Structure 1
Amino acid sequence: MKKVWIDAGHGGKDPGASANGLQEKNVVLEVSLAVKRQLESEYEGVQVFLSRSTDVFLELKDRTEKANAAGADVLVSIHCNAGGGSGGFETYRYTSASVASAAFQNLLHTEIMSRLKPFGVIDRNQKAANLHMCRESKMPAVLTENLFIDVASDAVKLKRQEVINALIDGHVAGIAKHLELVRMEEKPVTQERDINQLSPWAAKDWKEATENGYIDGSRPGAPVTREENAVIMNRLHKNFMQLIANNSERLAALEKRLQFIEAKKI
């Protein structure tokens, strides 16, 4: 079982960047929750942990200590950027990052950017910095900066569900590739049957059952309910009892006839 730690930045009393009607803490929480849902529903053998699943404040130390204690295989800290300029997307690893962290950053960055390019998002490239979430994590760790809250053109994009979905899909794909996760097998779609179409192999029995009054002859392909079963069983019971009664009358008549014949012989 692979363990993934998703850290939604800021939260609670710390809103993060705020501008253009957006708050960083809300955007990143939406993305984080969806990444968890998608990874666990689409891939086998993966468990996703969240630093926070609601609007609460956590110290940076608490976030990394919990991730380390959980024995997570990778950590992704999800943020939005601020500071003006032209906006765009970028990722960070620690300045002295391991080879695994660098490889993870490359995969994650590539997958996310490939989904953001159709929306005209600027690629600000892969970077390294002395960031707590990357430095104090014992596993490969990457921090993503998902567009600029205070850049109007980026804020407009962040208000579009298609862009949020692109961020979610990119994070999921990058994590899945790095951990070599296997997609869950898709169950084959069963062709829905026309309930009014009679199967050739049942035609004779269906005709006889209809003529004998056990069924009304409609909806041959429909599932049978408990109520319909009760009706059929009751009709069978009545017919069976009638058959017994008829046979009893015949046997009684036959017995009288035999008695008459025996009396004549005497």
Structure 2
Amino acid sequence: MSGNPISRRRAMVAGLAGLAAIPFAAGLASANPGSARQDISPNAAKIYLDPGHGGSDSGAVGNGLQEKNLTLDIALRTRDLLTSAGHTVRMSRETDIFRELAWRASDANSWGAALFISIHINAGGGTGFESYRYTSVGQPTLDFHNRLHAGILSGMNSHTPVTNRGMKSANFAVLRLTNMPAVLTENLFIDRASDAALLANSSFLQATAQGHASRVESMLATM
């Protein structure tokens, strides 16, 4: 993205102020998009996936990549894994279109999602993976954040070791406005050449998606 990527990201994601090595689950590990469902989870639930940015909003850009394309890629892979495991998945977008932040949260709320994940790619010269929850949350969100963060790191590290930047909290609109446990993931830095090389690798993106999906399974088992 042009200008200061950090300030623009915070303005985009936190807008509307004043209004938000772990084994992969057996059922998900063998899932293939379009294949017959196997190992259907007894804890099937409604999961909302929010690929960040889209349409006229490219998000962060760097090294020939655009955030909006990467977030959609990871979300679609995660969706296919979860639906193959028997869950119902709704996405804020399945193509390259723009959605307002408030719309994303409202859509998840009205649909009655059990869990919400907003998928993003970082920028600003750093490296590695970090994730966010809202600044004031209950135990279910804390549990989900812990599980999801660990699972995504495990998925990434199964392909290539990455830096753990930690679990954080922020006043992001999609986290503040959602009614269910919600986490925003920042999957490496698009403007760091080594991170971008991983983001351009299909196997790494699949491992990242598996990390997202496996922890959703783990969380649902306790709900």
Q: TM-score, normalised by structure 1?
A: 0.65
Of residues 118-127 and 89-98 in structure 1, the stretch that sits farther from structure 2 once superposed is 118-127
SS at match of 1:146: strand
**Higher radius of gyration, 1 or 2:** 1
Query: Where do 4+ consecutive residues of structure 1 move more than 3 Å?
Result: none
Identify the residue that residue 171 of structure 1 maps to in structure 2. Answer: 212
Identify the residue that residue 201 of structure 2 maps to in structure 1. Answer: 160
> What is the RMSD computed on CA atoms of the aligned residues?
1.1
Identify the residue that residue 73 of structure 2 maps to in structure 1. Answer: 30
Identify the residue that residue 59 of structure 1 maps to in structure 2. Answer: 100
SS at match of 2:207: helix
SS at match of 2:208: helix
| Higher helix content, 1 or 2 | 1
Q: How does 1:187-202 map to 2 (within 5 A)?
A: none
Q: How does 1:82-161 map to 2 (within 5 A)?
A: 82-85=123-126, 87-118=127-158, 119-161=160-202
Identify the residue that residue 12 of structure 1 maps to in structure 2. Answer: 55
Query: Which string of whole-angstrom CA distances, capped at 9 and with x for unpartnered residues, describes residues 206-253 of structure 1?
Result: xxxxxxxxxxxxxxxxxxxxxxxxxxxxxxxxxxxxxxxxxxxxxxxx
AA matched with 1:20: N
Deviation at 1:37, TM superposition (A): 1.0
Deviation at 1:38, TM superposition (A): 1.0
Distance (Å, rounded) in 1 between the aligned partners of 2:191 and 2:123: 6
Distance (Å, rounded) in 2 between the aligned partners of 1:25 and 1:102: 27
Distance (Å, rounded) in 2 between the aligned partners of 1:163 and 1:31: 10
Query: Which string of whole-angstrom CA distances, capped at 9 and with x for unpartnered residues, describes residues 161-201 of structure 1?
Result: 121011110000011110129xxxxxxxxxxxxxxxxxxxx
SS at match of 1:116: helix
Deviation at 1:58, TM superposition (A): 0.6
Distance (Å, rounded) in 1 between the aligned partners of 2:210 and 2:96: 23
Distance (Å, rounded) in 2 between the aligned partners of 1:2 and 1:116: 25
Structure 2 residue runs of 5 or longer lacking an equivalent are 1-43
Identity %: 46
AA matched with 1:35: T
Distance (Å, rounded) in 2 between the aligned partners of 1:115 and 1:63: 26
Query: Which string of whole-angstrom CA distances, capped at 9 and with x for unpartnered residues, describes residues 99-152 of structure 1?
Result: 111100100010110122241210001111111111110000000000000111
SS at match of 2:81: helix
Q: TM-score, normalised by structure 2?
A: 0.78
Distance (Å, rounded) in 1 between the aligned partners of 2:175 and 2:142: 11
Distance (Å, rounded) in 1 between the aligned partners of 2:203 and 2:80: 17
Query: Which string of whole-angstrom CA distances, capped at 9 and with x for unpartnered residues, describes residues 40-62 of structure 1?
Result: 11x23x20000000000010011
Query: Which string of whole-angstrom CA distances, capped at 9 and with x for unpartnered residues, describes residues 22-43 of structure 1?
Result: 00000010111111111111x2
Deviation at 1:98, TM superposition (A): 1.6
Distance (Å, rounded) in 2 between the aligned partners of 1:68 and 1:177: 22
- Equivalent residues, number: 178
